Amino acid sequence: MISIAAGVKSHNINAWLGGGISIVRTMPNTPVLVGKGATGMVANDAVSDKQKTLAEQILGSVGEYFWVKEETMLDAVTALSGSGPAYFFLMIESMTNAGVALGLDKQIAEKLSIQTALGASTMSKQSTDSVRELRAKVTSKNGTTQAAIESFQEQNFETIISRAMRTAFERAREIGFELSDNA
């Protein structure tokens, strides 16, 4: 069995189905809808290598998959990748609104924001450079990008991201406990 139910632990599924069930618990994200998803996966001890391969083929058909060693790590996958598309949508939305505030037409600002996100994502996937190195290459000394990055840093951008992901992680754990308590 492949489960995509967020927060529902394998041992609960196993108990509900009578025990002895092979379960691959997964956390896909919504880009699976366009074949560009990222899915975290973990298998219980009953899952055979053949069943793991089948799960890889299924989830690999809608994006990339990543095995985690422990089921508890799916909460981290949820915070990073399960919720992650919404973070990027918020960034695109915010960039669009900022572009409009700077005088751009909304439609153009949105298309520029989306294409910029797509281009940056594609570059980071295809490049042998780290994302840090790619960012540094775009950031000219005393240029516009450096000014923007410094503004982000002054407002603790990385801390904001880290706290938001920690909150999502903790909520994923809470949901798991709530579902376990109601089992």
List, in order of start, the domains of the chain with CATH numbers.
2-74 (3.40.50.720), 84-166 (1.10.3730.10)
pLDDT of residue 159 exceeding 80:
yes
Does this model's pTM top 0.85? My answer is yes
Mean pLDDT of the chain: 95
The Cα–Cα gap between 114 and 88 comes to 10
For residue range 101-126, what is the model confidence (pLDDT) as tens digits? 999 999 999 999 999 999 999 999 99
Place of tokens 């994502």: 121
Helices (H), 102-140: 106-126, 131-138
The Cα–Cα gap between 28 and 6 comes to 9
Q: HSE (CB half, 13 Å, CA atoms) of 141? A: 0
Binned at pLDDT 50, 70 and 90, residue 182 comes out as: low
Percent of the chain with pLDDT over 90: 91
The Cα–Cα gap between 48 and 137 comes to 46
pLDDT of residue 183 exceeding 60:
no
Helices (H) and strands (E) in the chain, counts: 8, 4
For residue range 56-90, what is the model confidence (pLDDT) as tens digits? 999 999 999 999 999 999 999 999 999 999 999 99
Instruction: Tell me the sheet residues that pair with 28.
Output: 39
